[in-house]
Amino acid sequence: MEELIFRGIFLKQLNNFIKPFWSVILTAVVFGCAHLHVTYTTEVLFFAGITLLLGLIWGFLIHYTKSLLASVLFHAGADLLIIIPIFTSYGVGTYSME
């Protein structure tokens, strides 16, 4: 959903008013700021910085590939790297054969 909102809608509309380079920058900054409320890490500013960097990468991916798909798949992969450790810390996905 984030890719659809931030890059599918927001980025696309910004490109009508400013150059794509600046559209990607602005979208990435807003994307990073939107992640300042996370509660699953104590390093919120570090996490927001990472999301800013990823937002830049995903924005330029869309700009150069002209497709939302690459960005969506990359974002899903990044989210899995966050979600799987959280789930396993609660014992989700671990099976016992006892």
The angle at the Cα of 23, spanning 45 to 16, to the nearest 5 degrees, equals: 150
Contact between 51 and 32 (Cβ < 8 Å): yes
pLDDT tops 90 at residue 34: no
Answer whether residue 95 shows pLDDT above 90: no
CA–CA separation, 13 and 1 (whole Å):
17
Q: Hey, where are the domains in the chain?
A: 2-89
Tokens coding 84: 């799987």
**Taking 60 as the threshold, does the pLDDT of residue 96 lie above it?**
no
What confidence tens digit (pLDDT) does each residue in 2-33 have? 888 888 888 889 989 999 999 999 999 998 88
pLDDT of residue 53: 93
Tens-place pLDDT, residues 36-93: 887 777 788 888 888 899 999 989 988 888 888 888 888 888 878 878 887 787 776 6
Under 8 Å between Cβ of 27 and 11:
yes
